[in-house]
Amino acid sequence: MSASIQAPFSQTTTTPLQGHFISFEGTEGVGKTTAIEQLCARLQANGIDYLRTREPGGSPFAERLREILLDPNTAINDDTELLLMFAARCDHMQQVILPALQRGTWVICDRFTDSTVAYQGFGRADGDATVRGKIDTLIEQFVTQLPELTLWLDLPVLEGMARANKRSAADRFEQQATDFFTRVHKGFRTLADEYPKRIQRIDASGSADEVSARIWQKVEEKWDI
Ligand X SMILES: Nc1ncnc2c1ncn2[C@@H]1O[C@H](COP(=O)(O)OP(=O)(O)OP(=O)(O)O)[C@@H](O)[C@H]1O
Which residues belong to the annotated binding site for ATP? 26-33
Q: CA nearest 122: which of 68, 57, 191, 171?
A: 191
**Binding partner selected for residue 217 from Mg ion, ligand X, none, CB under the kind-specific 5 to 8 Å limit:** none
Q: Spell out the residues 6+ positions from residue 223 whose beta carbon is closer than 8 angstroms to its own.
A: 20
Judged by CB under 6 A, the residue of 33, 46, 137, 217 near ligand X is 33
Q: Which stretch binds ligand X (CB under 6 A): 59-67, 95-103, 163-171, 188-196?
A: 163-171
Q: What are phi and psi of 115, to 5 degrees?
A: -65, -35
Q: CA nearest 31: which of 177, 218, 210, 198?
A: 210
Q: Judged by CB under 6 A, does residue 28 bind ligand X?
A: yes
**Binding partner selected for residue 42 from Mg ion, ligand X, none, CB under the kind-specific 5 to 8 Å limit:** none
**Binding partner selected for residue 211 from Mg ion, ligand X, none, CB under the kind-specific 5 to 8 Å limit:** ligand X
| Other beta carbons less than 10 A from residue 12's beta carbon | 12
**Binding partner selected for residue 187 from Mg ion, ligand X, none, CB under the kind-specific 5 to 8 Å limit:** none
Q: Which stretch binds ligand X (CB under 6 A): 94-102, 184-192, 204-212, 216-224?
A: 204-212
CB 151 within 8 Å of CB 214: no
Residues linked to residue 135 through DSSP beta bridges, in sequence order: none
Residues linked to residue 200 through DSSP beta bridges, in sequence order: 151
- Looking at the Cβ atoms of 42 and 163, the one nearer to ligand X is 163
**Binding partner selected for residue 213 from Mg ion, ligand X, none, CB under the kind-specific 5 to 8 Å limit:** none
Query: Which secondary structure element, helix H or strand E, spans residue 24, and what is its range?
Result: strand 21-25
Q: Looking at residue 76, what DSSP letter applies? A: -
Q: Judged by CB under 5 A, does residue 11 bind Mg ion?
A: no
CA–CA gap between residue 22 and residue 108 (Å, rounded): 5
CA–CA gap between residue 163 and residue 166 (Å, rounded): 6
Q: Judged by CB under 5 A, does residue 165 bind Mg ion?
A: no
Q: Judged by CB under 5 A, does residue 80 bind Mg ion?
A: no
Judged by CB under 6 A, the residue of 17, 21, 22, 29 near ligand X is 29
Judged by CB under 5 A, the residue of 6, 11, 15, 33 near Mg ion is 33
Q: Provide the binding-site residues for Mg ion, judged by CB under 5 A.
A: 32-33
Q: Provide the binding-site residues for ligand X, judged by CB under 6 A.
A: 26, 28-34, 163-164, 166-167, 207-208, 211
